[in-house]
Each structure stands twice: as structure tokens, then as C-alpha cells.
Amino acid sequence: MSESEYDYVIVGAGSAGCTLAARLTEDPGIRVLLLEAGGKDRSPNIKIPAAFGKQFHTKLDWGFSTVPQPGCAGRELYSPRGRSLGGSSSMNAMLYVRGRPIDYDLWESEGAAGWGWQDVEPYFRRAEDHAAGADEIHGAGGPLRTAKVRSPHDLTNQFYAAAEAAGIPYNRDYNGPEQDGVSPAQVTQHGGKRWSAADAYLKPNIKRPNLTVRTHATVLGLELDGDRVTGVKISGRRGKSETVRADRDVVLCAGAYGSPQLMMLSGIGPAGHLSDVGVDVRHDLPGVGQNLHDHPFCVCIWDAHDGPSLLDAEKPRAMLEWVLRRSGPLTSPVAEAFGFVKTRPGLPAADVQFHMAPAYYVDHGASVYEGHACTIGPVLVTPKSRGQLTLRSSDPSDHPLIDPNALGEPEDVESMLAGMELAREIAHSGPYAQSLGKELFPGPDVTDRQMLEDDLRQRVELIYHPVGTCRIGPADAGGVVDPDLRVHGLEGLRVVDASVMPVVPGGNTNAPTIMVAEKAADHILGKVPTAA
């Protein structure tokens, strides 16, 4: 067994880990080790935007599933997570959504002092390199390239008019002062290729002498000396056990599943549960693994007659266009437009987000339809349901038990049903009345509210945004980390990833995760956080 020393050991080279490693090593006097269980990000399915779904159920995917969900007809729901440099930013649909000011002000009201909108907004700007340049909303010159969809389909352009005919206004930029309305999607792409956190933050800095990156390094647990975390135990590619020390902090950036699992495997978490699975309790912290939630979605799909749609992306011509011009259907993130809507009066913000795709997107893209199709998928952006993540056993190779309690609250079901009804209305409005044909899902036989609810529970899935399992907040209120992201009651351990979010933001979570890491770097380095 060998032993090495660094100032900071970062576990997980995903969105947060790549960002944090780059920012910390801007100081040449700080030594950082970045550990990634997966390999490098060389697969063409990572680089080609429309191919993201081809990574599912491969070596690039952790391949998680939930326990059976009572609110979802007892089904287990698939939950992919990226397993390569860039983590889930190398696997996701590249959709850039900051969320709403109300989301972060809610974080602050729930105990995340200093994480309100005025505190976090500058870090979104610092991260961003907007293709159109800086303005009153967007930043330029940051590592993270953002742009509009490069080659949108006609069905996408028709979506705006159809939605407006159904009473939903057009919104030029959902990342602006007002989120509600239908808008073109913004994506983390550069020149028609995916621009992951590894592309943005890690690769430009990987030759820094104070940054060491190790792939195929699986962290088995944390090393503790009393109340101080001193390092991590890892298993390398050949299964050789090794302990790596951190002089200052170990920083968990392993995501909403990986970070709480590693803590619990190391004896940090709810004492009763740890004892039940045979883990020696080192630090009783009941909030670890609690507050798990994700965004449920349920696709509504229509035949699109003659298209064009992403069915054309399978043709050799599409690959040739992408190789030669970095344009065409292979540059699509699949979801090319959004619609943020309030499904009932009195809501402070949208409760449903439509993902519109000029494609047949069923079973996470695994199912095939021989014709052109159009998907309008309502996503519940403000779920009330909360679940938990617990250990299956004390074996680090066992996946944890993931229970988001999806659709566990009646209000969540009502919002989703209203979203499905509104999707049907959009599909029969404006230009869609002519360009869309037979309803494939839920289907013409689903004619009343009870049938629609049955269909929802049979088909609802999760849209890859798990958060909350190491939330910021007071320990006596279920919090795991303080506002500086230090784990309560321990020294030398922080968590920096989506698990610290008290409430899931209103929209896709990659941009907020990068923001968390940008801001965390200033907290760790003792800098005065960037002012609004």
C-alpha cells in the first residue's frame, strides 16, 4: 500500500469536480488530485451531440435504477449517470438552464445563507462564454461555451407558433428576467460539438504541474483520524488498494448518488441505518442521503407525417455533414425547445417545463419508430415529493438503494396531468394542426382524466436531475453541509455537487452544478465571494 499527499483530493471528475480542480489550481501553490472512476472521454458518442442516448447502458454509464416506485405503478426507474471525464456533462443533453431567482432565494430561506440569487448570479456569468457575447444577462470569456441550437428543425420552429396559439407566449431567453413562455434551447456546445465540463475546465489546464488527474480510480471510502477526514482509499485499474492523503480537504464531487454513498460507507450518516447494514458508525449525521428528489417527465408523442425529424440523423448524409461542417441533425441536443408554464393560477413560478424534440423519444431513446415523430414532454420542475438514498450493503461495489418517491404527492400528479393535457392542446394548435398526425402516446384511447393518470403512472420516468442528498442547512434541520460546504461535525471534508442543493432548481441542473463549484472554489480559497 502506497501513500501520497496533496492539499486537496477531489473525488469525481464530473461537472463540479472539473470546475473545482481548474479553479483551485489557478493558485500554483495548491496541489490537487482529481480522481475519476471512469475513463477518458474519447468516445464519438460523447462528442456528437445527438448521440448522447447511445451512452446509456454502456461502460460510460453508472446505470443506476431506483427501487420500485409505488407512485409509478411499482416500476423501477432508470437513472443514468456519466462515468468518464466530464461525468454527466459528457452524457447529458447539453441543455443550459440557470433556473429562477426564486429557486436560490428559497435555498437561502431554508438555511443556505449566502446562496440567494444575488449571491449566485455572478458565478453563472463567470462560468459562461456566450456565443453571442456578453449582455445584461449572459457572460463572455468564461470557460463554459453556450450557444443556441445550431441546426433547429422545422418542427421546432413550428412549436413556438403552436404554443402561442394555445396561449403560451414566446420568450426570447428563458435565462433572462422572466422564465415563463416557449423559447429556443441554449446548449453547452462549441462548433457543433459537445462542450462538457472536461472540455471547458479540465483540458485547458491539465498540464498544470500542480494538477494530477487519475482515471479508473474507484474510491472505496474515506480515511478518518478522529473527527478529521485525512484522505481516501482507492482501488486502481488493477485492483491495487491505495491510500491518498489530503493535507487540507477531501472534496466529494461524486454527485447526488455517489457522495452520500461514500460518506455512509465510511461511517458518516444516519447511525441506525449504518448499523443495520454492518457499517461502523464514525459520525452520526441523520441528513445524509435524505431529501432526494428529481424531475419526473412523461412524453407525449405524435406522428409527424413527412418530417423532417431526427430520424434523418441516422442517415450517412447526416454524419458527413457533421464531420465536414459540424452542422445538421447530429448537432441537435434532441430537445431543441422549452416551454415553462404555470398550470394553474396562484403559482409563484412555472411548475411544468416542456421539452420539445423533433424525434421519437421513448424508453430513453432506446425504442424505435419507423416514421417521423414529434415529442412534447412535460417535466415537473417543482416536485413536492421527497425520498432518500440508503446503502444496499457495506460493499462499495453495490449500487445504493435509490428512492426518490416519484409522484408521491398528489400535487405532483396534478401538475403532470395538467402538463399532458396542455401538450395535447399544443399539438392541435397553430401549424401543428396540419403537420402532426396520429397521437402515439398517450394514444387516442386515453380519453378521460383517470385513464390519463393511469397512463402517467405507467410511463413516467426521471429526467436525470437527482439532487439534495447532502443539502446545505443546519444539521438539526436535516442539513449535511454548512454554507461553506463543510460537512457538519467533521474537519477536512466538503461536498461540492448537486447533492448540496436544498431544492432542485427550475430546469436542467448542469449549469447550477457548475455554478455551485465556481462559488465553492471561492469559499475554499477564502476569497470574498464575487459580488453581484
Question: 402 lies in a domain?
Answer: no
451-464: average pLDDT: 98
Q: Is the dihedral of CA 268, 269, 272, 274 positive or negative?
A: negative
277: in domain: yes
pLDDT at 531: 53
pLDDT-above-90 percentage for the chain: 96
Boundary residue ending a domain (459, 477, 496): 459
Torsion-angle region of residue 220: left (phi > 0), alpha (psi -120 to 50) or beta? alpha
**161, 35: one domain:** no
Match 471512469 to its residue by C-alpha cell.
Answer: 38
Do residues 157 and 242 share a domain?
A: no
User: Does residue 489 fall inside a structural domain?
Assistant: yes
Pairing of strands 211-214, 32-35: parallel
The stretch 433-438 carries a mean pLDDT of: 97
Check whether 3 has a pLDDT greater than 80.
Answer: no
Q: Is residue 48 part of a domain?
A: yes
Please choose, from the candidates 54, 489, 9, the residue with its C-alpha nearest in 3D space to the C-alpha of residue 249.
Answer: 9
Work out whether the CA dihedral 55, 58, 59, 61 comes out positive or negative.
Answer: positive
Together in a domain, 252 and 329: no
Q: Which of 26-30, 373-377, 524-528 is predicted least confidently?
A: 524-528
Please choose, from the candidates 432, 359, 381, the residue with its C-alpha nearest in 3D space to the C-alpha of residue 166. 432
Same domain, 260 and 330: no
Indicate whether 342 belongs to any domain. yes
For residues 91 and 49, give the distance between their C-alpha atoms in angstroms, rounded to a whole number: 9
Same domain, 21 and 100: yes
- 260 forms beta bridges with none
Nearest-angstrom CA–CA distance, 434 and 307 = 12
Residue 48: what pLDDT?
98
Tell whether 401 is covered by a domain. no
- What is the pLDDT at residue 444? 97
In this structure, are 94 and 133 located in the same domain?
Answer: yes
Is the domain of 212 the same as that of 347?
A: no
pLDDT digits (tens, 9 = 90+) for 110-124: 999 999 999 999 999
Banded pLDDT at 2 (limits 50, 70, 90): very low
- pLDDT band at residue 345 using 50, 70 and 90 as cut-offs: very high
Burial class of residue 210 in the structure, from the number of CB atoms within 10 Å of its CB (0-12 exposed, 13-18 middle, 19+ buried): middle
pLDDT score at 54: 97
Residues 234 and 173 in one domain: no
Q: Whole domain around residue 353: which residue ranges?
A: 150-184+296-382+408-459
Any idea what the CATH number is for the domain that residue 366 is in? 3.30.410.40
pLDDT of residue 239: 73
Query: Is 465 marked active-site?
Result: yes
Mean pLDDT of the chain: 96
Element (H, E) at 163: helix 154-165
Percentage of residues in the chain having pLDDT higher than 70: 98
- Give 444-455 pLDDT, tens digit per residue: 999 999 999 999
Residue 171 lies in a domain: yes
Whether residue 400 is contained in a domain is answered as: no
Q: Tell me the sheet residues that pair with 212.
A: 33
Distance CA 376, CA 361 (A): 9
**Are 191 and 174 in a shared domain?**
no
pLDDT of residue 237: 67
Calculate ∠ Cα 177-180-186, nearest 5°.
75
Q: What angle do CA 257, 22, 216 make, to 5 degrees?
A: 50
Do 35 and 54 belong together in one domain? yes
Regarding beta strands 300-303 and 461-462, do their DSSP bridges make them parallel or antiparallel, or are they unpaired? unpaired
What is the pLDDT, as a whole number, of residue 280?
98
On whether both 50 and 29 belong to a single domain, the answer is yes
Question: Burial level of 82, CB count in 10 A (0-12/13-18/19+)?
Answer: buried
Assess whether 101 and 25 both reside in one domain.
Answer: yes
Q: Which of 439, 459, 479 is the last residue of a domain?
A: 459
- Report CA 13 to chain centroid distance, whole Å: 14
Catalytic residue among 293, 465, 488, 523: 465
pLDDT digits 0-9 by tens, 211-264 = 999 999 999 999 999 999 999 999 966 778 899 999 999 999 999 999 999 999
Give pLDDT, residue 306: 87
CATH number of the domain residue 141 falls in: 3.50.50.60
- Contact partners, residue 152, CB within 8 Å, separation at least 6: 184, 332, 336, 337
Number of domains in the chain: 2
pLDDT at 1: 36
